[in-house]
């Protein structure tokens, strides 16, 4: 599947799953507009240290990818800044929204998980709704927004697309990451429907990014191409 001449955006590009996705998209010929929280801060740190810093490592692997020099463009964007993604998604054929905090232990669930997941997803979708170029948005969902509803999970239980995690159950059980993904997904479906956005959620149980991008290579690209 050739992506030559097509431009896509990947949010949270320095993340684990997104990094594999960027690699796959570059290999397929796409031009990738990749968002990270602060690319400039990273390069200035590189200048100040003679050894790789943790921040340097966050984008170094992306810049070293085959095709990156020609077709990877890094942009600064933050989920909590309104309009942060506007200029990045402008001109893109498609958007892969992966940025979302993935942490299980937090002091302040609202600030650390729910706000960035929920407001961030709405911000990205809001940016997409403003530009006619975006034909499809692919969002990384999770079993976190599917399986946590209090129903018993047993070998004979089929978990399918009719399943959604229950926000009340998640909150009562203090499953904050699950709650953040569930609220973000609920709000995203509503917004996409109201604004005519072609959106799909990709659900994967496994955190194996390589498998997500390569084992399911055709599946990943089909999600985007439809």
Q: Which positions touch ligand NAP (CB under 6 A)?
A: 12, 14-18, 37, 58, 78-80, 98-102, 116, 140, 142, 181, 204, 207
User: Nearer to ligand NAP by C-beta: 71 or 97?
Assistant: 97
**In whole angstroms, what is the distance from residue 32 CA to residue 9 CA?**
6
C-alpha distances out from residue 34 to 7, 23, 142, 157, Å: 11, 11, 21, 39
Q: In terms of CB distance, is 79 or 134 closer to ligand NAP?
A: 79
Min dist CB 142 to ligand NAP, Å, is 4
Residue number of the CB closest to ligand NAP reads: 15
Q: Smallest gap, in angstroms, from Cβ of residue 29 to ligand NAP? A: 23
Q: How far is CA 49 from each of CA 13, 44, 56, 131, rounded to the nearest angstrom?
A: 23, 9, 10, 40
- Token match 């989920």: residue? 79
Query: For residues 101 and 167, which CB has a smaller minimum distance to ligand NAP in the complex?
Result: 101
**Least Å distance between CB 62 and ligand NAP?**
11
CB of 139 to ligand NAP, least distance (A): 8
Task: Work out how close the CB of 213 gets to ligand NAP at its nearest, in angstroms, rounded to a whole number.
Answer: 11
**Angle at which helices 16-27 and 54-63 pack, to 10 degrees?**
20
Q: Which is nearer to ligand NAP, 29 or 200 (CB)?
A: 200
Instruction: State which residue, 3 or 116, has the beta carbon closest to ligand NAP.
Output: 116
Strand pairing category for 94-97 and 136-140: parallel
Q: CA-CA distances (angstroms) from residue 225 to 3, 38, 143, 215, 222?
A: 10, 30, 23, 17, 5
Which residue from 127, 100, 98 is spatially nearest to 114, judged by alpha carbons? Answer: 100
């Amino acid at each position: 599947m050739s992506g030559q001449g097509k431009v896509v955006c990947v949010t949270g590009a320095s993340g684990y799953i997104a990094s594999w996705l960027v690699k796959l998209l570059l290999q397929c010929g796409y031009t990738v507009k990749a968002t990270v929280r602060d690319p400039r801060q990273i390069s200035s740190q590189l200048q100040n240290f003679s050894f790789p810093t943790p921040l340097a490592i966050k984008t170094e692997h992306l810049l070293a990818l085959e095709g990156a020099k020609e077709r990877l463009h890094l942009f600064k964007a933050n989920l909590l800044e309104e309009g942060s993604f506007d200029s990045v998604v402008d001109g893109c054929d498609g958007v892969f929204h992966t940025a979302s905090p993935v942490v299980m232990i937090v002091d302040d669930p609202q600030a650390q998980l729910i706000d960035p997941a929920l407001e961030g997803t709405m911000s990205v979708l809001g940016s997409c709704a403003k530009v006619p170029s975006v034909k499809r948005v692919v969002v990384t969902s999770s079993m976190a927004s599917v399986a946590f509803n209090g129903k018993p999970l047993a070998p004979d239980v089929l978990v399918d697309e009719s399943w959604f995690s229950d926000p009340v159950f998640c909150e009562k059980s203090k499953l904050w990451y699950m709650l953040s993904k569930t609220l973000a997904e609920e709000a995203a479906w509503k917004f996409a429907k109201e604004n005519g956005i072609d959106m799909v959620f990709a659900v994967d149980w496994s955190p194996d990014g390589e498998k997500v991008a390569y084992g399911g290579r055709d599946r990943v690209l089909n999600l985007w191409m439809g």
